[in-house]
């Protein structure tokens, strides 16, 4: 029986204040609290609250046949716990339906696996505990930051007890094979792998309101028809996208909520189709083969690699400077410094320093709050300079 696996990523980074060389040694609060609250309130009103209300209604209407998954980054959990408890409660109502799976990731939405196995494990376990506490679930599915993935990551995730991991269904690892099947990661004995169908996912996430797109306008009936053509035995159509697609990236005026409202019914109109969460899809299917991925991939840009975060000298200098602080941070046993250091690991800070242009340039400019990658780099390095001084001056007391 073919399945549709619908997963949404929910993430908001901590935006950093404009921090000059003259602030070093004087200002130790790096967060732009006003901007972070402004953006959170806007996205809550445009996306989180109306989309959650709609999903709850759809789950009730479909009597449990509509099933979905979320991963909420630790940084967005921090912000909604602190400033928007109504948003947190709306996610908890979804969790209470029994039709929503909450995934695990690195708590700081970081690329820490590439730099510190110890810190990677600490962040995953912290996020696992938060999901257990907030949503009363023991996560069985792992999703790494920006869908970055490799053989080594899969092996580490299996050791942490997960049953399934998500990745991008790029031709780099698939060749001519289909992304619409369950696979086994190379080097793993039990872990299963679900691959994002990036074409069908991006039809909604990026092309939905593009009037120059040959398929515009995209209706739920048309989209469901495309899915219904994927009917081979054991098919799992993995539709993974940012949750902010609904109402923020694609505004309500585009018809995105009407599309979402009609989609479950249109898909379930075909009697062979069903919705499953990632863990359910992994439980109900056998791997069709093994996927070998020796180098890191991601869901970013045309290259589907990690160059959006680590592709230039500025990004590499910034990330290596950050992780060189780990030993000193741990020796201080200062929870405030540790929390700040983890906040600075969020992948967005390095994304802002990206210098890629051409086909992907508009994406990087649109999401970048800085005038230039160089400005993002200087701002970030000034903050690291101050943090380094704070570490040296710390004697272990709370910051």
Q: Which helix (H) or strand (E) holds 362?
A: helix 361-366
pLDDT at 1: 84
Tokens of 38: 């402004």
Proportion of the chain above pLDDT 90, given as a percent:
92
How far is 52 from 235, CA to CA, in rounded Å?
Answer: 27
Proportion of the chain above pLDDT 70, given as a percent:
96
Tokens of 367: 């999401």
pLDDT at 286: 93
Q: Are strands 68-72 and 3-10 parallel, antiparallel or unpaired?
A: parallel
Of 119, 146, 266, 280, the active-site residue reads 146
31 is catalytic: no
Residue 290 in contact with residue 171, Cβ under 8 Å?
no
Average the pLDDT over 366-376 and give the result.
84
Give me the DSSP letters along 151-166.
HHHHHHHHHTT-SEEE
> pLDDT averaged over the chain?
94
pLDDT at 365: 55
234 secondary structure, DSSP code: T
pLDDT at 99: 98
Q: Which helix (H) or strand (E) holds 6?
A: strand 3-10
pLDDT at 375: 97
Average the pLDDT over 231-257 and give the result.
94
Average the pLDDT over 201-230 and give the result.
97
Residue 398 in contact with residue 334, Cβ under 8 Å?
yes
pLDDT at 234: 79
> Within a 13 Å sphere around the CA of 261, how many CA atoms are in the beta-carbon half?
11
Tokens of 317: 């200098």
Give the pLDDT band of residue 366 (cuts 50, 70, 90).
Answer: low
Residue 77 in contact with residue 135, Cβ under 8 Å?
no
pLDDT at 159: 98
Average the pLDDT over 222-236 and give the result.
91
Residue 191 in contact with residue 185, Cβ under 8 Å?
yes
How far is 13 from 344, CA to CA, in rounded Å?
Answer: 10
Angstrom distances, CA of residue 312 to CA of 221, 340, 343, 350: 43, 24, 22, 10
How far is 300 from 387, CA to CA, in rounded Å?
Answer: 30
pLDDT > 70? residue 383? yes
Q: Where are the beta strands (DSSP E) in 153-289?
A: 164-168, 184-185, 192-196, 236-242, 274-275
pLDDT > 60? residue 114? yes
How far is 329 from 335, CA to CA, in rounded Å?
Answer: 9
- Per-residue burial over 275-308, b if 16 or more Cβ lie within 10 Å, else e, is bbbbbbbbeebebbeebebeebbbbbbebbbbbb
The string of pLDDT tens digits covering residues 301-327 is: 888 999 999 999 999 999 999 999 999
351 secondary structure, DSSP code: H
pLDDT at 290: 98
pLDDT > 90? residue 174? yes
pLDDT at 397: 47
**47-61, 117-131, 221-235, 237-251 — which is least confidently predicted?**
221-235
Average the pLDDT over 20-44 and give the result.
96
**58-72, 141-155, 220-234, 350-364 — which is least confidently predicted?**
350-364
pLDDT > 80? residue 263? yes
Tokens of 249: 């990236």
Contacts 24+ apart (CB under 8 A), 150-154: 150/293, 150/294, 150/295, 150/296, 150/297, 151/185, 151/186, 151/187, 151/292, 151/293, 151/294, 153/113, 153/296, 154/185, 154/186, 154/187, 154/188, 154/191, 154/193, 154/293
48 secondary structure, DSSP code: I
The string of pLDDT tens digits covering residues 266-300 is: 999 999 999 999 999 999 899 999 999 999 999 98
How far is 386 from 253, CA to CA, in rounded Å?
Answer: 44
pTM of the model: 0.94
How far is 201 from 299, CA to CA, in rounded Å?
Answer: 11
Q: Where are the beta strands (DSSP E) in 29-149?
A: 68-72, 100-102, 141-142
Residue 342 in contact with residue 13, Cβ under 8 Å?
no
């Amino acid at each position: 029986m073919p399945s549709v696996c619908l997963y949404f990523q929910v993430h908001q980074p901590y935006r950093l204040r404009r921090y000059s060389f003259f602030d070093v040694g004087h200002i130790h609060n790096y967060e732009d609290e006003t901007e972070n609250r402004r953006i959170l309130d806007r996205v809550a009103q445009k996306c989180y609250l109306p989309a959650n209300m709609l999903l709850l209604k759809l789950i009730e209407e479909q009597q449990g046949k509509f099933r979905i998954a979320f991963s909420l980054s630790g940084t967005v959990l921090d912000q909604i716990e602190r400033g928007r408890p109504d948003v947190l409660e709306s996610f908890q109502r979804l969790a209470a339906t029994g039709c929503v799976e909450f995934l695990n990731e690195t708590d700081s939405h970081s690329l820490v696996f590439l730099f510190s196995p110890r810190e990677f494990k600490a962040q995953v376990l912290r996020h696992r505990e938060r999901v257990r506490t907030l949503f009363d679930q023991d996560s069985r599915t792992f999703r790494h930051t920006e869908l970055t993935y490799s053989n080594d990551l899969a092996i580490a995730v299996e050791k942490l007890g997960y049953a399934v991991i998500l990745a991008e269904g790029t031709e780099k690892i698939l060749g001519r094979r289909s992304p619409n099947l369950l696979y086994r990661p190379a080097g793993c004995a039990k872990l299963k792998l679900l691959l994002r169908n990036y074409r069908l996912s991006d039809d909604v996430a990026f092309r939905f309101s593009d009037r120059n797109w040959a398929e515009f306008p995209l209706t739920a009936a048309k989209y469901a028809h495309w899915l219904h053509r994927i009917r081979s035995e054991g098919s799992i159509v993995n539709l993974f996208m940012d949750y902010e697609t609904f109402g923020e990236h694609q505004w309500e005026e585009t018809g995105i909520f009407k599309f979402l409202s009609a989609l479950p019914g249109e898909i379930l109109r075909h009697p062979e189709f069903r919705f499953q969460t990632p863990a359910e899809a992994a439980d109900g299917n056998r791997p069709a083969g093994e996927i070998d991925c020796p180098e890191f991939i991601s869901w970013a840009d045309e290259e589907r690699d990690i160059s959006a975060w680590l592709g230039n000298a500025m990004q590499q200098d910034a990330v290596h400077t950050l992780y060189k602080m780990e030993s000193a941070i741990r020796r201080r046993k200062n929870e405030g410094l540790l929390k700040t250091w983890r906040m600075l690991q969020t992948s967005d800070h390095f994304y802002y320093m990206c210098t890629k242009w051409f086909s992907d340039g508009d994406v990087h400019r649109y999401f970048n709050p800085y005038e230039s990658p160089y400005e993002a780099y200087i701002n970030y390095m000034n903050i690291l300079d101050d943090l380094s001084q704070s570490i040296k001056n710390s004697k272990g007391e709370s910051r």
